Amino acid sequence: MQLDEEGTAEGAPQTAAAEDGVVRALSLANALLNRPGGLTREQIFDKIELYRARRDERDRLVGSQRQRADDALEKLFGHDKEHLRSCGIKLLEPTAEDDYRYRISRTQYGLPDLSLTSQERSALYRAQLQFARNTIAGLQHAVWAIDPEYDDAAGSPAAPRVVQSSIGSDTEVAHLLDISRIGLRAAITFRYTGRGRRQAETRRVVPLGMGVRGHWYLLAHDLDRDAQRTFRLDRVSGTISTLPAASLSEPESVTLKQITRGGRYAALDVAAEVDRNVAGFTEHDAVEGALRVHQDEAPGTLPKLTRGTSRRRRDDASTKTERVINMIALLLTRGGIRPSELLEKYSLTPDQLLRDLLSISLVTTDQYPDTLDVTPFPPLNDEQFITEYLTADQPIELRASGGAMDRPVSLTKPGAMSLLIALKSLIELCPPGDEHIAAAAESLQRKVMAIVPEPIAHAAESMSLAPQAAHRAVLRAAQQASSAGHAVELAYTDISGRSSTRVVEPVQVVHDGPHTYMRAWCRRAQGERFFRLDRIADLKPLPHDPQGERSAALSLSDSSGPQVPVTADSVSVVLRFSPSAAGQAFLYHPVKQHTEKVTGARTILTSFVTKEAVIGTCLRAGGDVEVIRPVELREEVAERALELLGQQQK
């Protein structure tokens, strides 16, 4: 145990502390790994401080109070054991044959060697590169856990013109992971705000599959409607939880058994069903929805808009334990890992990294060989940790007397899902000439599915990451031009509705949130440009017009992705996103925002490149996005909607 007397500057209050549940679980694992003969329950309580303190407090009580304290201690111990088992650690319950000792076998601890081939290793790093600009949670750690000898600090193999991806918002991926943990074809419940709804309602469903077509969609059997339904995950709010069997009616229980046993939805084509649902909302529906919300007067007052910060959902104790036990393995194996690298590898906020480091520092039984020493020891104040510790970014070393926890124990559940998404993306979005990478990704995918929790493997297997059907021909042509190194001629309509024809040199396909772009060198603009696939009316390959040096250089350079340019024509607007569309607000780069507590609707202050861009966005949103200020622009959206509806009726 590290007791740091200089960890916080004089006068700086302590604002951070280790998390007891994580410390207990890790101390339990460390103690048992260092003692092949095992420990009895009382020996564990005696050696691990956080148990010992509770046991001693229990021993001072008598009668029913002592019994309640003993029950609480046993319940706590049970939770900690389950947290370790959820990480994939085989903690054996004691029996009379082994003197009632708990054991963790060193030989069964950690991930198995997947014996990667050179082709599978190339696919692994291509998957990592694909998400290099917008890393999905846990992917960096998963790559290291699969191949611990790979040093990403030295740089990964070059992969020019690799697809760059960012599939889904943090909220969507968190919901995706929640469903995956519970498992497909199990009854779940959540709050959902459908299109046009003002408030969320409770839905009870049986998940059948998931797919991404810009947004993540859940295909499920709706128990209350006894029919198949599709749900957009950014419209789900609150907790996704398992439905107790006792809460189901007899017909619902029969339906669940039919689905679980494969007698119903056995031949379900997830990709086709997601395509059909995405295409179901027509242009006429969208314009009618826009008119409905814009024809009333704008609100007289605005809610108080503040500068928003991205908020990550707090992990539960099991997730934290899994992450920290893998972080220990990384620090023991590599040594000298900078805080900035840990923030990236585990997709952490600074305050969570501080608490993880403090939890590691308290993993002990006060006896050799169980101590772990973190150097440099972090301060106990959040602000000081950010301004001093993170700014210095001095490599962190972890010294262990026993070294029992020096192997990655799992991919972590977010890491497993992230890696499987990345591999599936390589397979389904494979550009011409990279078929060998797709084949290696399929082989690696099978190996990974064999070592991850079964519900996550089943969920990943059910996913469809293919592009929208309407965009596939354009995407394929863009990929072929990029691979072959020739130009293309585009008929393109920008966000403001301005049409143009131009010759460009494609260098990458970029999946950014709900949109897919072609990154290219534009000869007309003489610079880098991003063209949204759904705005390309026509793409004509120019096989005899080779790309030049500027596009070749562009293909090897990093990019910050599609950006909203600020020009003299830029328009500042206040938009309200309906409760069902609140999750999309982050795509519009809000300067300030406000979220309604009751409905979840979100109001933001942002800017658009032109007035026409604002009008077009609202008309396509189907009533999910409305202009609040300026009032004149709101009225113009309503007038344009009326005009379009009149034209459609002719």
Which one has a higher pLDDT value, 49 or 139? 49
Instruction: Tell me which amino acid residue 355 is.
Output: R
For residue range 278-304, list pLDDT tens digits in order: 665 677 888 888 898 898 888 888 888
121 by Cβ neighbours in 10 Å (0-12 / 13-18 / 19+) ranks as middle
For residue range 246-272, list pLDDT tens digits in order: 999 999 999 999 998 888 998 888 888
* 4 and 104 share one domain: yes
Structure-token pair, residue 45:
């309580």
Q: Residue 604's pLDDT is what?
A: 93
Give, rounded to a whole angstrom, the gap between the first and last alpha carbons of the chain.
Answer: 79
* φ/ψ (deg, to 5) at 282: -85, 165
For residue range 581-627, list pLDDT tens digits in order: 887 787 788 889 998 887 788 999 999 888 888 998 899 888 889 99
Structure-token pair, residue 373:
């020493």
Contact (Cβ atoms closer than 8 angstroms) between residue 540 and residue 488: yes
State the Cα angle at 520 between 519 and 521, rounded to 5°.
150
For residue range 397-433, list pLDDT tens digits in order: 998 776 678 888 888 888 888 888 888 888 877 777 7
Pairing mode of beta strands 215-222, 201-213: antiparallel
Q: Considering the domain boundaries, does residue 114 fall inside one?
A: no
Q: Which of 380, 395, 410 delimits the end of a domain? A: 395
Place of tokens 């042509």: 477
475 CB neighbour count, 10 Å cutoff: 22
Which one has a higher pLDDT value, 544 or 132? 544
Whole-number Å distance between alpha carbons of 407 and 495: 50
Closest CA to 168 of 232, 214, 126: 214
Q: Considering the domain boundaries, does residue 418 fall inside one?
A: no
Contacts of 314 (CB under 8 A, 6+ apart): none
Instruction: Tell me which amino acid residue 14 is.
Output: Q
Which one has a higher pLDDT value, 2 or 11? 11
* 348 and 255 share one domain: no
* 92 and 178 share one domain: no
Pairing mode of beta strands 515-522, 499-512: antiparallel
Is the pLDDT at 159 greater than 50, yes or no? no
Q: Residue 470's pLDDT is what?
A: 67
The count of domains in the chain is 3
Q: Considering the domain boundaries, does residue 287 fall inside one?
A: no
Q: Which of 355, 376, 395 delimits the end of a domain? A: 395
State the Cα angle at 263 between 262 and 264, rounded to 5°.
90
Tell me which DSSP letter residue 269 carries: -
Instruction: Tell me which amino acid residue 62 is.
Output: V
Strand locations in 223-359 (E): 227-232, 236-242
Helix or strand (DSSP H, E) at 72? helix 63-86
Q: Considering the domain boundaries, does residue 550 fall inside one?
A: yes
Please report, for the domain that includes residue 238, its CATH number.
Answer: 2.30.30
Q: Report CA-CA distances (Å) from 141 to 207, 216, 331, 345, 483.
A: 28, 24, 12, 5, 30
523 CB neighbour count, 10 Å cutoff: 16
Structure-token pair, residue 544:
């005899």
Residue 224: pLDDT band with limits 50, 70, 90? very high
* 186 and 273 share one domain: yes
Contact (Cβ atoms closer than 8 angstroms) between residue 339 and residue 396: yes
What's the average model confidence in pLDDT over 106-125? 88
* 276 and 343 share one domain: no
| Residues β-bridged to residue 574 | 605, 629
Q: Considering the domain boundaries, does residue 234 fall inside one?
A: yes
Q: Considering the domain boundaries, does residue 648 fall inside one?
A: no
Contacts of 628 (CB under 8 A, 6+ apart): 298, 299, 302, 573, 574, 575, 576, 603, 634
230 by Cβ neighbours in 10 Å (0-12 / 13-18 / 19+) ranks as middle
Q: Considering the domain boundaries, does residue 135 fall inside one?
A: no
* Share of the chain residues as helix, strand and coil, in percent rounded to the nearest 5: 45, 20, 35
Instruction: Tell me which amino acid residue 294 is.
Output: H
Contact (Cβ atoms closer than 8 angstroms) between residue 199 and residue 207: no
For residue range 177-193, list pLDDT tens digits in order: 888 888 889 999 999 98
Q: Residue 259's pLDDT is what?
A: 93
Q: Considering the domain boundaries, does residue 524 fall inside one?
A: yes
For 572-593, letters b (16+ CB in 10 Å) and e give: ebbbbbbbbbbbbbbebebeeb
Residue 464: pLDDT band with limits 50, 70, 90? confident
Q: Which of 263, 280, 297 delimits the end of a domain? A: 280
Q: Residue 165's pLDDT is what?
A: 56
Q: Which domain holds residue 482?
A: 469-555
Whole-number Å distance between alpha carbons of 378 and 385: 7
Contact (Cβ atoms closer than 8 angstroms) between residue 38 and residue 32: yes
Q: Helix or strand or coil: residue 379?
A: coil
